[in-house]
Every structure is written in C-alpha cells, then in structure tokens.
Chain A
C-alpha cells in the first residue's frame, strides 16, 4: 500500500463521516407521520400516534409493517432480498425503510415544530 492509497482511503472515509455528521445534526427530532411512497408517489400517510399493523398489497408483492410507540418496523415482505424486513425500526424525521424490489419507501415525516405560540 502506497502513501496515495492511504490518502485516497482517508478522503473517502472523510466524505462518509461528513455525511453521517450532517445527518446527525438534522435528523434527530421525532417524526409524527409515516408516508408510504410507491414508485416515488405518495400512496398513503399514517399518524405515528396510533399503533396499528398495515398490510400492503402492491403490484410488486406484499409488505406488512407495524406502527408502534411512534416507530415503524417492517414485519414481513415477500421480496427476494428481505432488506426491508431486516432493517432496524425507524422513528426519527427523514428516516426511511426501502423495499427496492417492490419500489416501496416508508418515510418518517415531520415533528411538531410549526406549533409556535404567538
């Protein structure tokens, strides 16, 4: 391994760490709603305040997820890769669970920051 190799690796890791830090600073607040996106379009929206299990039957296949205590978890899916099922639960604003084979994105949205007293 040469000196330039080390510099290259350090640069890539610096970009990655910068990205992680950037996300830490803006994605810490709790979300209030879950948006279900299919093919990039808003398919449905649910409040995170209400615990419930939702089963989606899409063109690509089936996904079942659960909203509980303000966080969302994929319970099961019939996609080949199962990435979405193994993904950790999401609860913070902007966090996503993606089911790529089904072109499905679960996305947490918005805290209640607009609730300002005049």
Chain B
C-alpha cells in the first residue's frame, strides 16, 4: 500500500467522522428504530468510486469504530456495523454489475443500511414483529440513498477533474 493511499484513507475517514458528527447534531428523529440520514455514506460511496473496494471498506470500518467510540456506545457500534457492512457489500457488488450509476448503487446502500440495522434490532429485542418497520425503512433508505447518490456523483466528478488537472 502506498503512502498516498494511506493518506487518502485517513482523509476520507476523517471526513466520514465529521459527517457522522454532524448527523448526531441534527435533531431529526424519524420515530423508527434504525432510521438515519446516513450522511457518512456520501464518503463511503465516493471512496468506492475514487479508490476502489478495499480502501473504501477500510474507510467504512474505521469510521464506524471511531464514531461509535467517540459519540456513541457499544449498542450503537453493533447497529452501525451491521448496517454499514451489509450496505457496503451490496454497493460493492452492484458497482461491479453493469448498467448502474452512482445513484443506483447509493439507493441499494441506503436500503440495505436500514435493513441491517433493523436485523440487529430484531435480534436484540428477540422480536420478529419489528419486521413491520421494514417497509418504512426501505422507503426511507431509498429516498436518502437517492439524495446521497446525487451528492456523491457531484463530488466524484470534481475529484476526478482535480486529479486530471
């Protein structure tokens, strides 16, 4: 791994932490467990396109551990990890498939993020009934994924332009 790559991973992780922090400041409560704005996903999506799957995974895992340890707790870590990894896996696979843009990849990521968090919530309270939250979480994840995809697409375009300049 080159030092340039390490530096980039560090920079992306720092950015993701800032987004994660901003999100804790936004008093937006959807009233559904597991539902979040997922601002840090902008960084994961961007890292996936700019640096590839390996470094993007490193950024995602680092960000989740650091944000949970700084602003959250162990329970928060479990939800974030389940949501973050499931979402990352889906996005990395969809990016490899032909015919999807950043927005499509991000939409799947948003939907899977919420699904992963709900799955952990169901395991924690040992209640399968929580599945009734899934439709709302899927709709919410699609909407936030769409917006985050649009934002990420712009950032990716700028970064690529900057690299070639």
Contacts and interface: CB of A to CB of B under 8 A. Distances in A.
Interface of A: 1-5, 8-9, 12-13, 15-20, 23, 27, 37, 39-40, 80-83, 86-88, 94-96, 98, 100-101, 103-105, 107
B138 A103 contact: no
A13 B139 contact: yes
Contact of A2 (B99, B134, B136): B99
A5 to B, nearest CB: 3
Question: Which DSSP category, helix, strand, loop or mixed, fits chain A's interface?
Answer: mixed
A83 B103 CA distance: 30
B69 interface: no
Contacts, number: 99
Interface of B: 29, 31-33, 73, 75, 94, 99-101, 103-104, 107-108, 111, 121, 124-127, 129-130, 132, 134-136, 138-139, 141-142, 146
Nearest to B111: A12
B31 A87 contact: yes
Please give me the 6 A-B residue pairs with the lowest Cβ-Cβ distance, nearest first: A40-B126, A5-B104, A19-B135, A16-B138, A16-B135, A4-B99
The interface centre, meaning the residue of A2, A16, A20 with most chain B CB atoms within 10 A of its CB, is: A16
Contact of A98 (B103, B104, B121): B121
Contacts of A96: 127, 129-130, 132
Contact of A39 (B101, B126, B141): B126
A9 B139 CA distance: 9
Nearest to A103: B125
B135 A20 contact: yes
A2 B95 CA distance: 13
A3 B124 contact: no
A107 B132 contact: no
Contacts of B100: 2, 4-5, 8
B125 A9 contact: no
Given A2-B101, A4-B100, A8-B104, A98 B125 contact: yes
A23 B107 CA distance: 24
Given A2-B101, A5-B100, A82 B29 contact: yes
Contacts of B32: 83
Nearest to B106: A5
Given A19-B138, A98-B125, 17 more contacts: A2-B99, A5-B101, A8-B94, A8-B107, A9-B142, A12-B111, A12-B138, A16-B135, A83-B29, A83-B31, A96-B127, A100-B33, A101-B75, A103-B125, A104-B125, A105-B127, A107-B127
